[in-house]
């Protein structure tokens, strides 16, 4: 094991504030301390006189979602408390991705009271000759074409002013989550166990219990990361903080992705002091594209998702 500073040059980023920048859909990635979307919080217009940080470097959050580490494939601007690591030895992208995982594995050492600002250069990571052989063998082709859409047609415009409101109970039978407690998990079993987290499709682990809920459903958090919605393709168990949306229509992964994005837009309405319980969920409304007869246009929603990047992975 060697210190980070032995194979990377560790530097502080731009320290820009996103609210002071102009958003631009085809602009420069703005990387922040978020744990999602490869750290990219938005895209912004190029700043006159300020060069973006170079592609091929690794961003590491020194605070916030501390130690979240991502390889940046294109030039970018960066926010507060964000470091970027430049290899000082020749390194392939597969090796950089391996080091991202190594850096992220040090998350447990830090929190909001103990950030990684001073200690990052001294953290111990494997040397290049300690990288497992499978890293180069697998990563070389595994992600090739991963961002391809199903349909390369232009993405149609969203026109929600022409859509129609539907109550959730018109579309779903909503039930409370059922399953073991987290402390009862033993590390064995094959039944997905879904909790009220905001990542990893809600998957916290696996249970030896038989599934309590059907697959091809949507889970929505009533507590914790409220309104976080995920499509569950397989039968599963869950905690009571997760509600299960059983469709009254023909659901598939593409349609579910469209619905999950809209459901998550309701997050601002709820919090720890105002839960999104079943009664409120049943009364809540969602605005959807409709056919000429006023029914949801599921085919249009499905085709919309097919034009988006990464949809081929569904």
DSSP one-letter string for 262-277 = HHHTTGGG-BTTB---
- For position 143, what pLDDT does the model report? 62
Instruction: Based on the fold, state whether residues 184 and 105 are members of the same structural domain.
Output: no
Helical pair 298-306 and 253-264, crossing angle rounded to 10 deg = 90
Q: How many CB atoms lie within 10 A of CB 87?
A: 17
The single-letter DSSP state of residue 76 is B
Domain endpoint, select from 90, 109, 142: 142
Let me know whether 104 and 201 are in one domain: no
Supply the angle between the helices 133-142 and 93-104 in degrees, to the nearest 10.
110
On whether residue 148 sits in a domain, the answer given is no
pLDDT the model gives residue 269: 83
Read off the pLDDT of each residue in 166-185 and give the average, rounded to a whole number: 91
Q: Place 122 in a pLDDT band, splitting at 50, 70 and 90.
A: confident
Domain end, chosen from 142, 171, 193, is at 142
Cα(225)–Cα(65) distance, integer angstroms: 15
Same domain, yes or no, for 211 and 74?
A: no
* Same domain (yes/no): 7, 125: yes
pLDDT at 111: 66
| pLDDT band at residue 301 under the 50/70/90 scheme | very high
Q: What is the pLDDT of residues 63-99, one digit of tens each?
A: 778 889 999 999 999 998 899 999 999 998 989 999 9
Number of domains in the chain: 2
- Running DSSP on this structure, what letter comes out for residue 85? E
Please give the structure tokens belonging to residue 103: 């850096």
Residues 6 or more apart whose Cβ sits within 8 Å of residue 62: 33, 81, 82, 83, 115, 116, 117, 120
Q: What is the pLDDT of residue 115?
A: 66
132 and 169 both lie in a single domain: no
Query: Are residues 251 and 118 both part of a single domain?
Result: no
The C-alpha atoms of residue 123 and residue 131 are separated, in whole angstroms, by 16
Query: In CATH, what number is assigned to the domain containing residue 79?
Result: 3.90.220.20
| Number of residues in the chain | 314
Domain boundary among 95, 116, 142: 142
Estimate the share of the chain in helix, then strand, then coil, as percent rounded to the nearest 5: 25, 30, 45
* Whole-Å CA distances, 188 to 87, 177, 203, 292: 39, 20, 14, 50
pLDDT for the residue 186: 79
Asked, for residue 166, whether it belongs to a domain, the answer is yes
Q: Is residue 149 part of a domain?
A: no
Please indicate, yes or no, if residue 46 is contained in any of the structural domains: yes
- The confidence score (pLDDT) of residue 163 equals 95
pLDDT value of position 74:
94
Task: Tell me which residue has tokens 């009254």.
Answer: 248
* Joined tokens for residue 290: 């409709």
Residues 16-73: pLDDT tens digits? 999 999 998 889 999 998 888 899 999 999 999 999 999 999 999 987 788 899 999 9
Q: How far is CA 194 from the centre of its chain?
A: 16
**Residue 36 and residue 164 in one domain:** no
**Structure confidence at residue 192 (pLDDT):** 94
Average pLDDT score over residue span 127-134: 89
138 plus 164 within the same structural domain:
no
Q: For position 150, what pLDDT does the model report?
A: 86
- The verdict on 116 and 185 lying in the same domain is no
What range defines the domain where residue 171 resides?
160-313
Flag whether 135 is in a domain.
Answer: yes
Stretch 243-256: mean pLDDT, rounded? 96
Q: Is 117 a domain residue?
A: yes
Global model pTM greater than 0.75: no
User: What value does the mean pLDDT take over residues 256-283?
Assistant: 86
- If asked whether residues 95 and 175 sit together in one domain, one would say no
How far is the CA of 61 from the CAs of 23, 81, 115, 231, in angstroms?
A: 22, 6, 9, 29
- Asked if pLDDT for residue 140 goes beyond 60, the answer is no
- The answer to whether residue 50 sits within a structural domain is yes
Domain assignment of residue 147, yes or no: no
**How crowded is the C-beta side of 94, counted as CA atoms within 13 Å?**
15
pLDDT at 287 over 80: yes
At residue 139 the predicted structure's pLDDT band, cuts being 50, 70 and 90, is low
183 and 50 share a domain? no
Q: What is the pLDDT of residue 76?
A: 96
Q: Please report which confidence band the pLDDT of residue 300 belongs to, taking 50, 70 and 90 as the band edges.
A: very high
Indicate if 96 and 173 belong to the same structural domain: no
pLDDT at residue 219 tops 90: yes
pLDDT at 223 over 90: no
- 305 vs 119, more confident: 305
């Amino acid at each position: 094991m060697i210190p980070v500073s032995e194979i990377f040059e560790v530097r502080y980023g731009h320290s820009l504030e996103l609210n002071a920048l102009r958003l631009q859909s085809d602009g420069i990635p703005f990387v922040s301390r978020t744990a999602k979307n490869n750290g990219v919080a938005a895209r912004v217009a190029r700043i006159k006189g300020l060069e973006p940080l170079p592609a091929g470097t690794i961003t590491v959050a020194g605070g916030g979602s501390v130690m979240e580490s991502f390889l940046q494939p294109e030039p970018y601007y960066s926010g507060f408390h964000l470091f970027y690591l430049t290899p000082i030895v020749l390194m392939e992208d597969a090796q950089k991705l391996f080091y991202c995982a190594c850096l992220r594995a040090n998350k447990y050492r830090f929190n909001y009271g103990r950030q990684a600002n001073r200690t990052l250069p001294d953290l111990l990571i494997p040397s290049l000759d300690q990288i497992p052989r499978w890293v180069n063998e697998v990563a070389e082709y595994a992600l090739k074409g991963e961002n391809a859409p199903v349909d390369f047609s232009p993405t149609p415009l969203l026109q929600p002013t022409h859509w129609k409101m539907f109550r959730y109970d018109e579309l779903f039978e909503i039930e409370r989550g059922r399953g073991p407690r987290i402390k009862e998990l033993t590390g064995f079993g094959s039944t997905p166990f879904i909790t009220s987290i905001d990542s990893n499709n809600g998957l916290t682990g696996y249970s030896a219990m038989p599934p309590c809920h059907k697959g091809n459903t949507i889970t929505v958090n009533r507590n914790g990361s409220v309104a976080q919605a995920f499509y569950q393709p397989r039968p599963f168990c869950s905690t009571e903080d997760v509600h299960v949306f059983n469709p009254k229509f023909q659901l598939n992964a593409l349609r579910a992705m469209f619905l999950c994005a809209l459901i998550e837009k309701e997050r601002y309405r709820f919090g720890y002091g105002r839960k999104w319980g079943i009664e409120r969920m049943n009364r809540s409304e969602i605005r959807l594209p409709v056919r000429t007869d006023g029914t949801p246009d599921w085919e249009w929603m499905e085709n919309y998702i097919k034009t988006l990047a990464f949809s081929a992975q569904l």
